[in-house]
Chain A
Amino acid sequence: MSRSEALADGFPDISGHAIARRAHWGRWIAAAIIILILLAIGRAFARGQIEWPFVERFITAPVILRGIVNTMVMAVAAMALGIALGVVVAIMRLSPNPVLRSVAAGYTWLFRGTPLILQLLLWFNLALVFPTIGIPGLWSARAVDVMTPFLAALLGLGINQGAYTSEVMRAGLLSVDIGQYEAAQAIGMGRLQALRRIILPQAMRVVIPPLGNEFIGLVKATSLASVIQYPEVLHSAENIYYANSRVIELLIVAGLWYLLVVSVLTPLQMLLERRFARGVARSR
């Protein structure tokens, strides 16, 4: 390399110099250690007592496929119920009526404060409390017939989800500027119309990332419904390994399906986020 020419004012001329890359020795060493550990874990599993052919055989077994469909049906239905309840409860939380506010707060307190699996068991065993249910004089039925595993799981998961979703929704509603309520009122909108047309669409933008999170949590929480005999994917896997004793292989099958579903959900969430970012994302 030639010595830098001095500029007229005595400073060296470095305008033509390339910038040399730093050697990050620390990073190389850390990466090497981590890769070695991962290889060791992989090797252990490859040599462990896992019959991989079983995984391959059962991953597309009809019972497992029906199980993952049931898992998705339950997750979507419970999330729909949860969002509907969440919106209503969030609006009640922000109501000027103290009774509505306390009921909403009490609902959140009760269903966030007890374990989900306990709630599922309570719903499933509702017949022990109310042997018959119905509307007096109009219709009644034995609770054991009505409270199927599907209904018990839907109520348990959906109502529990509503308690969490209401807090997410409340945060979303509070994130919208008070001036938006006033502008909606100024063009003659009532409270509910302003909520539906002006406030909720803006709240959605804030709410979708945490709701996506909640939904992924719910997909996995449906596995708890296996304890009340709802035939979702984990329940199907369990039924198979009770018969053939391939416990680990079938748990891996169920695990792979959960991973696949969650991987598909992430880009879906991105699409939704883009839809509700109208007017905001374009400027950034």
Chain B
Amino acid sequence: MKPLVAIRQVSKRFGEFQALKQVSLDVFEGEVVCLIGQSGSGKTTLLRCVNQLTTADSGGIWLDGELLGFRERDGRLHRLSEREIARQRLACGMVFQRFNLFPHLTALENVIEGPVQVQRRKPAEAKDAAMALLRRVGLADKSGSYPSQLSGGQQQRVAIARALAMTPRLVLFDEPTSALDPELVGEVLGVMKELATSGMTMLVVTHELGFAREVADRVVYMDQGVIVESGPAGEVLRAPREARTKAFLAAEVG
């Protein structure tokens, strides 16, 4: 079976700091992969490369067989136009650590913005679909609220609905619960669990090891820009082989 996302030898440097070193990773259709590791380990950079918010210095990422961001011609890579990159981005939804809801739009308007403005769907249809998604994340009654009127957990659930409204092939989560008060983490993880159960392909950067253990098909531990260890959640989290993974898990559990 071909992977939905194939990351091959991706490297990225920010000035002196080498964020990613020759990272390769596959994500298969329907799989939930959790990226764990300390801050600065490169997991968020890797996720942003998949959505082309960050461009890798070298290496390639293929989504559903299509090379992202470049066209290969005569043994050279040619950067795609902004329009083509925007089209490629439609295949993956993104949920941000700090929600990034559009503050001047209501929850419903946030969700239909992409379908109506980018995908040119009919507003009435998009609205029905958006209401169904808001119901799915448990916020049908908040459709007319502005982000500032919602709690952090509610905002993140709207952000998940916004990502799903584009009917993406996979959803990227960048530490979706790190900016939340502890008592609000559960509601967001609940929505993510339901999404995983429904068969959505998910690549999740997270510090929630409990969530990873329960939901992830595969856990990938990164440190200093490389993948140290990757495997089924149960194996990596319960019986890590690598010393660095063991040390990280011991520190996280406290």
Contact = CB atoms under 8 A, between A and B. Distances in A.
B48 to A, nearest CB: 9
B103 A202 contact: yes
Which one of B53, B90, B102 has the greatest number of beta carbons of chain A within 10 Å? B102
B207 interface: no
B148 A189 contact: no
B118 A193 contact: yes
Interface stretch (A67-75, A238-246, A276-284): A276-284
Interface in A154-195: 177, 179-180, 182-191, 193
Given A188-B86, A197-B113, A282-B148, A183 B119 contact: no
Given A179-B98, A182-B53, A183-B96, A190 B104 contact: no
B101 interface: yes
A188 B89 contact: yes
Nearest to A198: B102
Contacts of A197: 113, 117
A179 B96 contact: yes
Interface string A188-213: 11110100011001100100000000
Interface string B79-121: 0001100110110011010101111111000000110011100
Contacts of B35: none
B151 to A, nearest CB: 12
Contact of A187 (B83, B87, B98, B113): B113
B118 A189 contact: yes
Interface string A264-284: 000000000000101110110
Contacts of B101: 183
Nearest to B48: A182
Interface residues of B, number: 31
Nearest to B53: A182
Contacts of A188: 86-87, 89-90, 114, 118-119, 166
A283 B53 contact: no
Contacts of B28: none
Contacts of A185: 53, 86, 89
Which one of B117, B149, B166 has the greatest number of beta carbons of chain A within 10 Å? B117
B148 A190 contact: no
Contact of B105 (A193, A279, A282): A279
Nearest to B159: A183
B206 interface: no
B170 to A, nearest CB: 13
B39 to A, nearest CB: 18
B86 A190 contact: yes
Contacts of B87: 188
Interface of B: 51, 53, 82-83, 86-87, 89-90, 93-94, 96, 98, 100-106, 113-114, 117-119, 146-149, 162-163, 166
The 3 lowest CB-CB distance pairs between A and B, nearest first, are: A187-B114, A279-B146, A283-B148
Given A187-B114, A189-B118, A202-B103, 19 more contacts: A180-B102, A182-B53, A183-B94, A184-B102, A185-B86, A186-B53, A186-B94, A187-B118, A188-B89, A189-B86, A189-B117, A191-B82, A193-B118, A276-B104, A279-B104, A279-B106, A280-B104, A282-B148, A283-B146
